[in-house]
Structure 1
Amino acid sequence: MSQTSSQDSFNTALCDFLSRATTPFHAVDAIVKRLDAAGFSALRDDSSWSLEAGGKYYLTRNDSAIVAFSLGRDSSRDSGMRMVGAHTDSPCLMVKPQPEKLRHGYFQLGVEVYGGALLNPWFDRDLSLAGRVSYHGKDGLLKTALIDFRRAIATIPSLAIHLDREVNQKRSINPQTDILPILTQLPGEEALDFRRLIAEQLRAEHPEIDVAEVLDYELSFYDTQVAALLGLEGEFIASARLDNLLSCYTGLEALLQADGTQSTLLVCNDHEEVGSLSTSGAQGPLLRSVLKRIAGDESAYQALIERSMMISADNAHGIHPNYADRHDDNHGPLLNAGPVIKINANQRYATNSETAGLFRLLAKQEAVPVQAFVVRSDMACGSTIGPITAGGTGIRTLDIGVPTFAMHSIRELAGSKDAFDLARVLRRFYDFPGPLSAG
């Protein structure tokens, strides 16, 4: 298969994954299905593990984070683990616990903004709803299930320009009052029972279960427009949740294509967009607990940490042609010009010269170009799971990402070549036979 046809196949599958992974729960569910099909075995926190050289395993946490790893034929204690990290969550609008509102005959739901969302693009979109529901069945036991309406059930209409003449000069959005989605019109004065609506959706999607009562939920709205290639030559990928499901997918593809010689690991954490401090976030114990159980004892764990390396993959800011002055003159990454090494002197990114040097070496071996991103010295810098992982575990870490436009919008844009190239470099990293440090 030619590289062009391989890239086309990769992007087709990527777009399908992005369209299906509408929440972190659905992203992990989709990843698990791929891992199961590839022969990985599920592990549980509350059970003993019997790990074997050449074995392939995964562990989920909170249904929204996952660690998948393969124990290579070479001892992980001797050669370390090649790790890739990403995150499953994206900024969105989450439904409040008591959300029902009926105003002027329009049934609406109260929402809370999750993460640093760009709010303007949420107006006038065809929205659906998905997430995890906790319920008890007729047997009285607490259970959970995923739901996804997978059709447009809501919208947030803009206010007409005739009623806001200055909207194009200045527009502020009140997240409490301005972004409540409209779901339907009701003739009376009583709002719908939202939990009853959720119970009906549960029964429709899971006819095998008996739902006595919906107890709680974690549900978020999303844009029903599916991921797609666009541009005169198909140069771009447009989708919701590119940040950071694109990195989850590239890491997964690289893991599945690794040759099995080295010990490899992929961690996809939740809650990066809100600080990572949770049981399933990078500040939680998930990765450390898995590595300690792989190592077996404290001495072996310390040796494993010393010989391992993490590539934290999270999208980077491409230079926007309409706003080029927002970038440092020499560090404006272009779409379709290769993955980006992210550098910050104040350790908002975990990259150092050694980890960056290894990535450049790997990219050179794959004939993949590499770019660099440094934020303007007079602007604040975002961060990733990279410094959190490095600081919490002591693992040498590199921050990289695919250049992207409209980050944190309801629909983001990336180059159709970059994700494929990143997957190639990550696979090369997973198969790298040499030591992961220059020492």
Structure 2
Amino acid sequence: MSDFLQQLQGFLAASPTPYHATANMAQSLQRAGYTFLPESEAWQMQAGGRYYTTRNGSSLVAWTLPKTAALETSGLRMVGAHTDSPCLKVKPKPELHRNDYHQLGVEVYGGVLLNPWFDRDLSMAGRVSYLNAAGQRCQNLIDFQRPIAVIPSLAIHLDREANKNRAINEQTYLPVILGQGAEAHDFKQMLTAQLAAQGVTDVTDILEYEVVLYDTQPPACIGMDQAFIASARLDNLLSCFIGLTALLEADSDMGTLLVCNDHEEVGSMSASGAQGPMLKQVLERMLPEPEARARMLAHSVLISADNAHGIHPNFADRHDENHGPLLNAGPVIKINANQRYATNSETSALFRHLAQLDGLPVQSFVVRSDMGCGSTIGPITAAELGVRTLDVGVPQFAMHSIRELAGVEDCTTLTTILRRFYTTTEV
């Protein structure tokens, strides 16, 4: 297995939540010599400098400034992705005790494909706010790592229509089972015990938490020739990893930027989402003078990287016959006449040209004309900034499932194209 795939699998396994993904990307940036600029402090930047900042612990912007060229005349080569994935989130008062079983109530985050969540070995991870022994308010990430929960399916004998017409009630079907017995499980006590197991032993009160369920099955390369990678959260941690890898490998003389926003799966309207002000505020601090910043944006391009729907051989009729992307046949340019994707002919031509320079394949995706089209952070960011934008992505199967599938070759191909994008002088 290549170093790239080993690092990718490690990143996916270590990033069960947007908070963990952001922390892991921040560590990679620090190792590469990027300087952390807290939003709450004054920023000092210099030509050729490498920097990053975070918001809410779940969104990140990393950038390098040109070594010699003026930023307002050379622009930025920007790549965008998102850190969140559809999942099940533990409710604020989750404890249930029914028929001798201890359960947790959960809330659905995003457009989850629910059926695959049944009969999986589930763990929990997230962020916890607490008071320490000194009365200070603190935060810490947690990850139980081991399987501690399950949502068992109802036996076919008790639901004869399960394979024909099964509707899942999110309120009643999805509470997870933790154990059984007369002694109730207090969820905040569970969090306190987990923090202690991670070395945080001075917790006096759990104030709040954001905790999600996740599948403990690790990422893997599968298939007779191991041509596919299977994992949770490929949409869209795969694009985060590819964008980060390309940024760190580019060693560009140009201005480069990676933005990874939270909350794309629920509409992006938040302080740390793409429809929020985070990226705009970073650019304002990068170039405070409005006229210079406007010129910079006019010279800039954003590639929004979010996975695409590969043509499923069992459901080929769900695709436009001329626009069904194949796995391992190249990254996909996403196009929609109604601007659900931000691609236009100019930005699409740029991406194709970059791929041609390395002899790499590119595909196109257009949704069937009689079906609705999803969207990405691309149109949102384009509308917020007025920057030229296109939407691309690695084709995949089982989008929004607890375990998704993508082509190994597409991952390396998109990394190569984005690396060249970061170093090109002509955009």
TM-score (structure 2 length as normaliser): 0.99
Say yes or no: does 1:230 pair with 2:216: no
Q: Tell me how far 1:303 sits from its aligned partner.
A: 1.1
Distance 2:279 2:408 in 1: 31
Name the structure 1 match of 2:204. 212
Alignment of structure 1 residues 233-382 onto 2, 5 Å: 233-382=225-374
Say yes or no: does 1:151 pair with 2:151: no
Once the two structures are superposed, residues 350-374 of structure 1 have per-residue CA deviations (whole angstroms, 9 ceiling, x without a partner) of: 0000000000000111211000000
Name the structure 1 match of 2:114. 119
Name the structure 2 match of 1:50. 44
Q: CA contact under 8 A between 1:54 and 1:260: conserved in structure 2? A: no
Letter in structure 2 aligned against 1:19: A
Q: Tell me how far 1:152 sits from its aligned partner.
A: 0.2
Letter in structure 2 aligned against 1:151: R
Distance 2:272 2:241 in 1: 18
Q: CA contact under 8 A between 1:92 and 1:221: conserved in structure 2? A: yes
1:160 is aligned, of 136, 155, 160, to 155
Q: Tell me how far 1:260 sits from its aligned partner.
A: 2.6
* Secondary structure in structure 2 of the residue aligned to 1:111: strand
Q: Tell me the number of residue pairs that the alignment of Structure 1 and Structure 2 aligns.
A: 426
Distance 2:74 2:202 in 1: 50
Distance 2:172 2:358 in 1: 51
Say yes or no: does 1:175 pair with 2:167: no
Name the structure 2 match of 1:26. 20
Say yes or no: does 1:68 pair with 2:62: yes
* Secondary structure in structure 2 of the residue aligned to 1:425: helix
Once the two structures are superposed, residues 229-261 of structure 1 have per-residue CA deviations (whole angstroms, 9 ceiling, x without a partner) of: 000000100000000000000000000011230
Q: CA contact under 8 A between 1:107 and 1:183: conserved in structure 2? A: yes
Say yes or no: does 1:101 pair with 2:108: no
Name the structure 2 match of 1:89. 84
* Secondary structure in structure 2 of the residue aligned to 1:376: coil
Q: Tell me how far 1:95 sits from its aligned partner.
A: 0.2
* Secondary structure in structure 2 of the residue aligned to 1:67: strand
Letter in structure 1 aligned against 2:276: G
Name the structure 2 match of 1:202. 195
Letter in structure 2 aligned against 1:70: T
Alignment of structure 1 residues 386-401 onto 2, 5 Å: 386-401=378-393
Distance 1:380 1:364 in 2: 31
Gaps of 5+ in 1: none
Q: CA contact under 8 A between 1:71 and 1:260: conserved in structure 2? A: no
Name the structure 2 match of 1:80. 75
Letter in structure 1 aligned against 2:86: P
Distance 1:75 1:199 in 2: 51
Letter in structure 2 aligned against 1:199: T
Q: Tell me how far 1:108 sits from its aligned partner.
A: 0.4
Q: CA contact under 8 A between 1:154 and 1:181: conserved in structure 2? A: yes
TM-score (structure 1 length as normaliser): 0.96
2:185 is aligned, of 180, 183, 192, to 192
Letter in structure 2 aligned against 1:204: A
Once the two structures are superposed, residues 297-316 of structure 1 have per-residue CA deviations (whole angstroms, 9 ceiling, x without a partner) of: 11111111111110000000
Q: Tell me how far 1:27 sits from its aligned partner.
A: 0.2
Distance 2:82 2:199 in 1: 28
Alignment of structure 1 residues 407-422 onto 2, 5 Å: 407-422=399-414
Distance 2:420 2:236 in 1: 21
Distance 1:11 1:420 in 2: 9
Q: CA contact under 8 A between 1:236 and 1:415: conserved in structure 2? A: yes
Distance 1:411 1:61 in 2: 28
CA RMSD of aligned residues (A): 0.8
Worse overlay, 360-369 or 68-77: 68-77
Distance 2:272 2:199 in 1: 26
Once the two structures are superposed, residues 82-102 of structure 1 have per-residue CA deviations (whole angstroms, 9 ceiling, x without a partner) of: 000000000000000000000
Distance 2:356 2:284 in 1: 33
Letter in structure 1 aligned against 2:339: Q
Once the two structures are superposed, residues 122-158 of structure 1 have per-residue CA deviations (whole angstroms, 9 ceiling, x without a partner) of: 0000000000001111111211100000000000000
Distance 1:168 1:264 in 2: 50
Gaps of 5+ in 2: none
Q: Tell me how far 1:388 sits from its aligned partner.
A: 0.2
Letter in structure 2 aligned against 1:191: A
* Secondary structure in structure 1 of the residue aligned to 2:203: coil
Distance 1:264 1:191 in 2: 53
Distance 1:399 1:158 in 2: 38
Name the structure 2 match of 1:128. 123
